[in-house]
Amino acid sequence: MPVFADITDRLARLSIELPSWAFGNSGTRFKVFGTAGTPRTVQEKLADAAKVNELTGLAPTVALHIPWDKVEDYAALRSHAEELGVTLGTINSNTFQDDIYKFGSLTHVDDAVRQKAIDHHLECIEIMGLTGSQDLKIWLADGTNYPGQGDIRGRQDRLADSLSQIYAQLADDQRLVLEYKFFEPAFYHTDVPDWGTSYAQVTALGDRAMVCLDTGHHAPGTNIEFIVAQLLRLGKLGSFDFNSRFYADDDLIVGAADPFQLFRILYEVIRGGGLDEDSPVAFMLDQCHNVEDKIPGQIRSVLNVQEMLARALLVDVAALSDAQEAGDVLGANGIVMDAFYTDVRADLAAWRESRGLAADPMRAYAESGYQGRIEVERVGGRQAGWGA
């Protein structure tokens, strides 16, 4: 079995994008709880994200959500981020909060509405040029609640047409990543409900269109690591949205619900080349800190990914391959479990310190005084949220 020193090179490649909206308030349809210190502006969100990166060294980029993070001057925002030690990452579009999108956006039967949704994405591409973002991420709320409400087939055809218009406007170094989701907010049919649909749609677009896999967007019981392996094999895994779930799209902290599943996912990422130097796979968080503190929630999240990646890197691949070829079921499983059961926390702490980072980023945050400071400073104004 490899030892910790063997895996640090690859461990050092881990970089996880933080979503700006994780620092704002979120909740359920029943209630959104506000908390002291919540950012009012995108600049304050960036400051919080930069704090997470400062303490963990894991989160050098921040994803924006348009229009939640709209500003007048994106070049200034980009400079501001860089001064804080982070860069601007993925641009996430939003076609689910305008009244005209009640019955769809890129799939809408009314060409005027559909054009507006396409135009919103073109605006996002323009912003990408200003922010230096590589990825345009598209998650659609499109779908229907009742059988017959919409024409499933027609909507799919219109989606293909809309996406091709958007894809055509991408610069050569930009990508489109299409996220799928099993259900919610649509409760009968969703227009991009599974990886197969996303794969079929992006394959029709071209090389720079990829699938985004959100770990919370599957049917109960789905083997997610299989999908990871399959998409890497097909060359179409563009990015992850990490979070965890017990039931539906719970958007809990990644690794909180089933750390062994996260370990298995990361094992397949490694196995499929997703951690290689030239890998196209981008890692990102997409979570809701409904009841827990947001900044430590993000710190905990990136640490969870790091801890499970370290364990996954410890799998004795050669021994595993031998056991698999020998049909030694318990032996092969044991090799995987040995890596999963290995406590990497002390090694990780020492390694962090060796790189000038906090040994225990959670404690370092608690002791930093940052939370107290923002709770005092961020009074008045309107706390950021989803705008729902």
Instruction: Supply the minimum distance, in Å, between the C-beta of residue 208 and a second copy.
Output: 19
Residue (125 or 249) nearer to a second copy, CB? 249
Instruction: Supply the minimum distance, in Å, between the C-beta of residue 62 and a second copy.
Output: 21
Instruction: Supply the minimum distance, in Å, between the C-beta of residue 135 and a second copy.
Output: 21
Instruction: Supply the minimum distance, in Å, between the C-beta of residue 161 and a second copy.
Output: 13
Instruction: Supply the minimum distance, in Å, between the C-beta of residue 352 and a second copy.
Output: 16
Phi, psi of 364 (to 5 degrees): -60, -40
Residue (17 or 307) nearer to a second copy, CB? 307
Instruction: Supply the minimum distance, in Å, between the C-beta of residue 9 and a second copy.
Output: 22
Identity (one letter) of the amino acid at 66? I
Residue (171 or 204) nearer to a second copy, CB? 204
Residue (208 or 264) nearer to a second copy, CB? 264
Instruction: Supply the minimum distance, in Å, between the C-beta of residue 95 and a second copy.
Output: 11
Instruction: Supply the minimum distance, in Å, between the C-beta of residue 203 and a second copy.
Output: 9
Residue (54 or 307) nearer to a second copy, CB? 307
Residue (35 or 43) nearer to a second copy, CB? 35
Residue (345 or 355) nearer to a second copy, CB? 345
Residue (77 or 255) nearer to a second copy, CB? 255
Q: What is the 3-state secondary structure (H, E, C) of the chain?
A: CCCHHHHHHHHCCCCEEEEHHHHCCCCCCCCCCCCCCCCCCHHHHHHHHHHHHHHHCCCCEEEEECCCCCCCCHHHHHHHHHHHCCEEEEEECCCCCCHHHCCCCCCCCCHHHHHHHHHHHHHHHHHHHHHCCCEEEECCCCEECCCCCCCHHHHHHHHHHHHHHHHCCCCCCCEEEEECCCCCCCCCEECCCCHHHHHHHHHHHCCCEEEEEECCCCCCCCCHHHHHHHHHHCCCEEEEEECECCCCCCCECCCCCCHHHHHHHHHHHHHCCCCCCCCCCEEEECCCCCCCCHHHHHHHHHHHHHHHHHHHHCCCHHHHHHHHHCCCHHHHHHHHHHHHHCCCHHHHHHHHHHCCCCCCHHHHHHHHCHHHHHHHHCCCCCCCCCCC
Residue (79 or 333) nearer to a second copy, CB? 333
Instruction: Supply the minimum distance, in Å, between the C-beta of residue 173 and a second copy.
Output: 27
Residue (15 or 386) nearer to a second copy, CB? 386
Instruction: Supply the minimum distance, in Å, between the C-beta of residue 250 and a second copy.
Output: 4
- CB within 8 A of 89, min separation 6: which ones? 17, 61, 62, 63, 64, 133, 134, 135, 282, 284
**How many CA atoms lie less than 13 Å away from 337 in the CB half-sphere?**
6
Torsion, Cα 318 320 323 329, to 10 degrees, reads 180
- Please state, in angstroms and rounded to a whole number, the distance separating the CA atoms of residues 74 and 273: 34
